[in-house]
Chains A and B, each alone.
Chain A
Amino acid sequence: MLVLSAAGAVVLLTSVLPLARLLTEIPGAGAAALSVLSAFRPWLLLIRSLMLAAAVTACAIAIGVPLGLLIARTDLPGRRALWMVHAFPMFLPPFLLALGWFQLFGREGFLGGEVTARLLFSEVGLVAVLALTFSPVVTSMMALALLGMDASLEEAARVAARPWRVATRILLPAARPALGLAAILVFALSVSELGVPMFLRVDVFPAAVFARLGGIRYAPGEAFALVVPLMPVAIGLLFLERRLVGAGSFAVAGLRGMSRAPIPLGHWHPALAAVSWSIAVAGALPLGALALRGARGRGFGQLPQWIGLAPWTSLGTAVVAATVIVAVGLVLGHGVARRLRGASMLDALAVLAFVTPASVLGVGLIAVWNHPAMGGLYASVAILIVGYIARYAVVGIRAVASVVLQSPVHLEEAAAAAGARFWRRLTRIILPVNLRGVAAGLLLAMVFCLRDFETAVLYYPPGREPLPVRIFTLEANGPPPVVAALALSHVVLTAFVVAGGSLLVLRRRRA
């Protein structure tokens, strides 16, 4: 109970306190600040943001559902490689990809002109960039759910029906909880998105909050007021997650592998392979454009002068935050899976912090930690760690819960009956038995922290900005080849982390 309380305290302190503080801070913002809500424009921006997020979600589902099915259950050639190429962009800050698309289709881009630039710098461009960035979330969650499904469910249907009917009547309905969670995730990420709309000059609500904290229209009171309409959005998403997805949302981590015979695509084989690979390659194209721009303009040679401490800040804070996230996740995720009292409530609060638009959480973190008594913490990289834990605690909880649910409870009960107390069971039985899932959670949490921009940009300590923030701030005034080279260095850093982490997880699986 003590361990559970300590883990709960971390979630309450980092994730919940900022949101609670906002509720008390808003009335004190003053009538003048609150009057910003009586204007028409913020509400228009909010509607536009919600509509854009809905459009991104719809497009991501349209791409991700068939692709997930093709990857997980058919004989599509090179489907694992396809999955890797398609999934990698989701590990990057979306504005990095927007930067790549700009190198391709901007006015002076490799393939660009006036028309392509106009299209890119519009709502259509925004939806296209974000849909390609976030569709791997849907693809991956669908594929994992399908791979984790009991083979007998599918085989029983295969005896009686053709593959198409099996796919539409058995596989897709069985993966519905994963699809629901993926849709909520993509919508939440899209609503929070700040970097891409700002880069593509599309006015959205989070940018209005950021502008009031970032100096252009400095008015922190108004920023507090502007988070009010975003709170119901977060609560609505939490409600949807609980109501529509519920416990099914844990069943997304497939552990059985592709052990069943794949569904043959027959004469559709070449066409579907061409479409699938085109989508995957399209998602990765901006990275190629960044590499080309960086190389042509000798941006890579100038990297040492511009990069500063940013990669170390990113990596160091991500490692520390991910370790805390997974430690908290181990306790709470196990608690959720085993239905321990209070764990489900803490999980819901962590979900709330994640689906809350990043600008709201960021403003809340500022309200809590930007205090003379907290000066040491707020002015240091520690605030980045606190922010990452606040927003991504749910990643650790869900990763652990999904694997613990798949391990027999008797392993723990046998340990308890043998006299082991909770801490001993946690460290000697639960952790080793579920080590692969915990390692995957650590990797996922690290990637989320590395790609974070929307929260960190609001409160990063001077001179210690993480790499995405540094790239974004340089993007406006820095030489384009250097910015492209910096962006690519972030890609390489992420690739190293993902590849190294995946190797460890897979090695553990073989062991």
Chain B
Amino acid sequence: MSAAIGIEGVRIRYAGKLVIDELSLSIKPGEVLALLGPSGSGKTSVLRVILGFVTPETGTVRLDGEVASQEGRLLVLPEERGLAVVFQDLALWPHLSVAGNLAFGLNSRGVPRSERNARIRSILGRVGLTGKEHSHPGELSGGERQRVAIARALVLEPRAVLLDEPLSNLDVGLKRELLSIFRALLKERQTTALYVTHDLREAAALGDRIAVMEQGRVVQEGTLDSLRANPASSFVRTLLNDFSGAGTIDG
């Protein structure tokens, strides 16, 4: 079976500066991969190349085996990739209601009205936002906005959802609550996910596997236990040592 998301030998350069260097990565269908690394390690660039907002200078991006980007060419447009994204700033459309935010992508993908409404009702119930359909993002609390962003991504039933540090600005309590919702939703829907974070606790709580990035390269991949048992470099060892309570964030 081909990988849901496959990246082979990708190199990305911004204004002459190499930010991703010969990076390869594979995510199996239904798997949650946490991409862990410090600021500036190139995590977000990986996410953007998968989404199709950045074209790789070299290398290939495959989605379910189909080549989406290759060697400076964008073969599948972002809107045709069947993905969903949750950005760090959430990017909720301020002029649309909660239901409008969720319906937008479904309409774009031609989902019939009856199915659309049912899916919106179901996902809003699942994230605890029933009754908030007509609220606008500006009227919601921080936690509610996070839930809308997650619901907006998952209501599309995408082939994979990419999350770019969506919890980085939250307090521990809210982070724990939302991680638990994320994990439950991703697992019950068997959704493939790439979770970009600089926080090992989040990576450990959500990821089936963790890929550690340093200066544009993946330096080690594996479960938290395998990384701890056999850190591939002093960088990985330091990263793991900096955090002594992995797994506690999810309660």
- A residues near B (Cβ < 8 Å) are 408, 410-411, 413-421, 424, 428-429, 432-433, 435
The winner among A417, A421, A428 for most chain B CB atoms within 10 A is: A417
A209 to B34, CA, bound (A): 69
Answer whether A418 and B87 are a contact pair too, CB < 8 Å, given A413-B53, A429-B93.
Answer: no
B84 touches A417 (CB 8 A): yes
A419 touches B91 (CB 8 A): no
How distant is A104 from chain B, measured CB to nearest CB, in Å? 49
A413 touches B87 (CB 8 A): yes
For A415, what are the chain B residues with a Cβ–Cβ distance below 8 Å?
93, 104-105, 108
B108 touches A408 (CB 8 A): no
Answer whether A432 and B78 are a contact pair too, CB < 8 Å, given A413-B85, A420-B104.
Answer: no
B85 touches A417 (CB 8 A): yes
For A410, what are the chain B residues with a Cβ–Cβ distance below 8 Å?
87, 89, 91
Q: 5 extra interchain contacts, Cβ-Cβ under 8 A, other than A411-B93, A418-B79?
A: A413-B53, A417-B162, A419-B79, A421-B108, A432-B95
A304 to B152, CA, bound (A): 60
A247 to B216, CA, bound (A): 29
A408 touches B95 (CB 8 A): no
A33 to B164, CA, bound (A): 67
B151 part of interface (Cβ distance < 8 Å): no
For B53, what are the chain A residues with a Cβ–Cβ distance below 8 Å?
413, 416
A433 to B53, CA, bound (A): 20
Binary flags per residue of B78-105, CB closer than 8 Å to A gives 1, else 0: 1111111101010101111000000011
B49 part of interface (Cβ distance < 8 Å): no
B108 touches A420 (CB 8 A): yes
B196 part of interface (Cβ distance < 8 Å): no
How distant is A181 from chain B, measured CB to nearest CB, in Å? 25
Answer whether A408 and B105 are a contact pair too, CB < 8 Å, given A413-B51, A416-B79.
Answer: no
How distant is A509 from chain B, measured CB to nearest CB, in Å? 13
Answer whether A419 and B85 are a contact pair too, CB < 8 Å, given A413-B51, A413-B53, A433-B94.
Answer: no
Chain B minimum-CB-distance residue to A414: B91
Interface residue from B89, B156, B162 paired with A418 (Cβ < 8 Å): B156
A417 touches B83 (CB 8 A): yes
Q: How many residues of B contact A (CB 8 A)?
A: 26
A-B contacts counted at CB < 8 A amount to 69
A411 to B93, CA, bound (A): 6
A421 touches B79 (CB 8 A): yes
Chain B minimum-CB-distance residue to A420: B108
A433 to B94, CA, bound (A): 7
In B56-83, which residues have CB < 8 Å from any A CB?
77-83
A421 to B108, CA, bound (A): 8
B109 touches A419 (CB 8 A): yes
For A416, what are the chain B residues with a Cβ–Cβ distance below 8 Å?
51-53, 77-79
Nearest 10 Cβ contacts at the A-B interface? A418-B105, A410-B91, A419-B108, A420-B108, A416-B78, A432-B95, A414-B91, A419-B109, A417-B85, A410-B87
Chain A minimum-CB-distance residue to B111: A419
A276 to B104, CA, bound (A): 50
The winner among A410, A414, A421, A424 for most chain B CB atoms within 10 A is: A414
A419 touches B95 (CB 8 A): no
For B95, what are the chain A residues with a Cβ–Cβ distance below 8 Å?
432-433, 435
Chain B minimum-CB-distance residue to A421: B79
Binary flags per residue of B143-176, CB closer than 8 Å to A gives 1, else 0: 0000000001000100000100000000000000
A487 to B95, CA, bound (A): 42
For A435, what are the chain B residues with a Cβ–Cβ distance below 8 Å?
95
A433 touches B93 (CB 8 A): yes
Answer whether A417 and B89 are a contact pair too, CB < 8 Å, given A433-B94, A433-B95.
Answer: no
A419 touches B87 (CB 8 A): no
A420 to B105, CA, bound (A): 7
For A414, what are the chain B residues with a Cβ–Cβ distance below 8 Å?
85, 87, 91, 93, 152
For B52, what are the chain A residues with a Cβ–Cβ distance below 8 Å?
416
How distant is A12 from chain B, measured CB to nearest CB, in Å? 26
A419 touches B156 (CB 8 A): yes
